[in-house]
């Protein structure tokens, strides 16, 4: 069976880590006899925008809808296109139109990597952030009035639907059931945000009734971020709204030493539309073009893609290869963000070789 994968590298370091993601995927495909057909698309980047006046062609949905998965790099180059235009014009369209309502972001301290949190060892930090991915604070409901005058007003509404909240909670509870600790933490702010967040809390309490085996707690987002730093070992599955999940899934990996290794899966669990796999990090214009970006986030996202396509052993082999190369700690191989003197290519090649062997 051939699996058709749409590859969109996007901007900045997305174009540098993507070749290493593909190298690793091809090594896994060869070893496990997986038939992958990769098709590269130039759209979804700021350069495409400069040429065409939009991030995506009008028929992007039809071009992509029959792929089995999308493999994405990073989006954004604020000197070329304002960030809200590049993000809303590409990645957020994919998430919304393909109903990828789950954004699954593992957060794990890997062997060989030093956490900035004193005394933390691999095993101390190992949790998932489940981020609601199609509504919440990332809403297009709002507008401006009296622009350019003293009476200028801007509004943007948070949108929470019962379907939208319940389906992400259900996914998170189900995930918690697969984990040994069977624990779920909800991110809220229902003391200050007095309509949508109490609603979120109510839906969590309602859903929890169906999962008596899961220990549930909740924290306001402010103290929750503090606890990520102070007590990362408390967490197992953390579920949050679109914005809270976004913040937590950058902070979590930062606690594991570098955001450069963090992967994510934007999932349409029903499989009606393709799911999208991308590193958590963005396009990082400050280091783009230097060949020093850490490719592990992209490679690990590729592993999540193979797992999603049903190739658990291949996915596990890719993650093990990442762990092995990190454990070896060869300075000439590792990138600078994790204390080495190597580059994107040296780290990508080492991992691909390990996958193939």
Q: Minimum distance from CB of 340 to ligand GGG (Å)?
A: 22
Q: Minimum distance from CB of 115 to ligand GGG (Å)?
A: 22
Distance CA 29, CA 4 (A): 13
Q: Minimum distance from CB of 12 to ligand GGG (Å)?
A: 9
* Only segment of 62-70, 73-81, 182-190, 215-223 that touches ligand GGG (CB under 6 A): 73-81
Q: Does 246 bind ligand GGG (CB under 6 A)?
A: yes
Q: Minimum distance from CB of 14 to ligand GGG (Å)?
A: 7
Q: Minimum distance from CB of 300 to ligand GGG (Å)?
A: 12
Restricting to residues 118-157, name those near ligand GGG by CB under 6 A: none
* Only segment of 72-80, 199-207, 254-262, 347-355 that touches ligand GGG (CB under 6 A): 72-80
How far is C-alpha 269 from the chain's CA centre? Answer: 15
Strand order in the sheet with 183-188: 35-40, 2-10, 69-74, 275-279, 263-267, 102-108, 126-132, 237-240, 183-188, 215-220
DSSP per-residue letters across 244-289:
HHHHHHHHHHHHTT-GGG-EEEEE-TTSSS-EEEEESS---TTTTT
Q: Minimum distance from CB of 62 to ligand GGG (Å)?
A: 23
| Angle formed by the axes of helices 312-328 and 296-308, nearest 10° | 160
Nearer to ligand GGG, 176 or 280 (CB): 280
Q: Minimum distance from CB of 91 to ligand GGG (Å)?
A: 6
Distance CA 172, CA 150 (A): 45
Distance CA 94, CA 134 (A): 10
* Only segment of 35-43, 55-63, 71-79, 170-178 that touches ligand GGG (CB under 6 A): 71-79
Nearer to ligand GGG, 283 or 317 (CB): 283
* Only segment of 56-64, 70-78, 110-118, 253-261 that touches ligand GGG (CB under 6 A): 70-78
Q: Which of 4, 61, 63, 87 binds ligand GGG (CB under 6 A)?
A: 87
Q: Minimum distance from CB of 75 to ligand GGG (Å)?
A: 4
* C-alpha closest to that of 184 among 198, 197, 164, 170: 170
Q: How many residues are there in the chain?
A: 357
* Only segment of 68-76, 183-191, 228-236, 311-319 that touches ligand GGG (CB under 6 A): 68-76
Q: What is the 3-state secondary structure (H, E, C) of 89-103?
A: HCHHHHHHHCCCCEE
Q: Minimum distance from CB of 222 to ligand GGG (Å)?
A: 20
- DSSP class of 315: H
Mark 264-303 with x for binding to ligand GGG (rule: CB under 6 A) and - for no binding.
Answer: --------------xx-xxx--------------------
Q: Minimum distance from CB of 66 to ligand GGG (Å)?
A: 23
Interface with ligand GGG (CB under 6 A), residue total 10
Q: Which of 74, 125, 255, 306 binds ligand GGG (CB under 6 A)?
A: 74
Please list the alpha-helical segments (H only) found in the chain. 14-31, 46-52, 60-64, 83-89, 91-97, 162-177, 196-208, 221-230, 242-255, 296-308, 312-328, 344-356
Count of C-beta atoms within a 10 Å radius of residue 307? 18
Mark 203-242 with x for binding to ligand GGG (rule: CB under 6 A) and - for no binding.
Answer: ----------------------------------------
Q: How far is CA 247 from CA 102, 253, 254, in A?
A: 15, 11, 11
* C-alpha closest to that of 172 among 226, 133, 146, 118: 133
Residues 109, 115 contacting (CB under 8 angstroms): yes
Nearer to ligand GGG, 137 or 323 (CB): 137
* Residues at the site binding ligand GGG, with contacts judged by CB under 6 A: 74-76, 87, 246, 278-279, 281-283
């Amino acid at each position: 069976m051939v699996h058709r994968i749409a590859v969109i590298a996007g901007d900045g370091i997305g174009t540098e880590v993507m070749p290493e993601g593909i190298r690793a995927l091809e090594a896994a495909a060869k070893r496990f006899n997986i038939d992958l057909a990769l098709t590269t698309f130039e759209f979804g980047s700021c350069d495409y925008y400069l040429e065409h006046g939009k991030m995506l062609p009008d028929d992007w949905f039809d071009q992509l809808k029959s792929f089995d998965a999308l493999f994405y790099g990073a989006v954004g180059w604020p000197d070329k296109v304002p960030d809200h235009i590049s993000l809303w014009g590409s990645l957020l369209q994919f998430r919304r139109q393909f109903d990828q309502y789950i954004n699954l972001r593992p957060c794990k301290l890997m062997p060989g990597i030093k956490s900035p949190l004193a005394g933390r060892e691999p095993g101390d930090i190992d949790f998932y952030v489940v981020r609601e991915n199609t509504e919440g604070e990332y809403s297009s409901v709002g507008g401006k009035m009296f622009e350019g005058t003293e009476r200028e007003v801007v509004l943007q509404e948070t949108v929470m639907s019962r379907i939208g909240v319940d389906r992400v909670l259900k996914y998170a509870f189900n995930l918690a059931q697969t984990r040994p600790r069977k624990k779920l933490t909800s991110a809220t702010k229902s003391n200050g945000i007095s309509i949508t967040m109490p609603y979120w809390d109510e839906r969590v309490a309602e859903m929890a009734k169906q999962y008596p085996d899961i220990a549930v707690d909740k924290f306001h987002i402010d103290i929750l971020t503090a606890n990520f730093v102070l007590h990362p070992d408390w967490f197992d599955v953390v579920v949050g709204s679109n914005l809270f999940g976004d913040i937590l899934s950058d902070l979590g990996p930062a606690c594991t030493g570098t955001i450069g290794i963090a992967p994510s899966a934007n999932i349409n669990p029903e499989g009606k539309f393709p799911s999208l796999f991308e590193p958590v990090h963005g396009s990082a214009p400050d280091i783009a073009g230097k060949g020093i970006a850490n490719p592990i986030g992209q490679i690990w996202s590729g592993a999540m893609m193979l797992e999603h396509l049903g190739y658990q052993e291949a996915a596990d082999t890719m993650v093990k290869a990442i762990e092995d190369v990190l454990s070896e700690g060869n300075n000439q191989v590792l990138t600078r963000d994790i204390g080495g003197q190597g580059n994107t290519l040296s780290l990508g090649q080492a991992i691909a070789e390990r996958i193939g062997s």
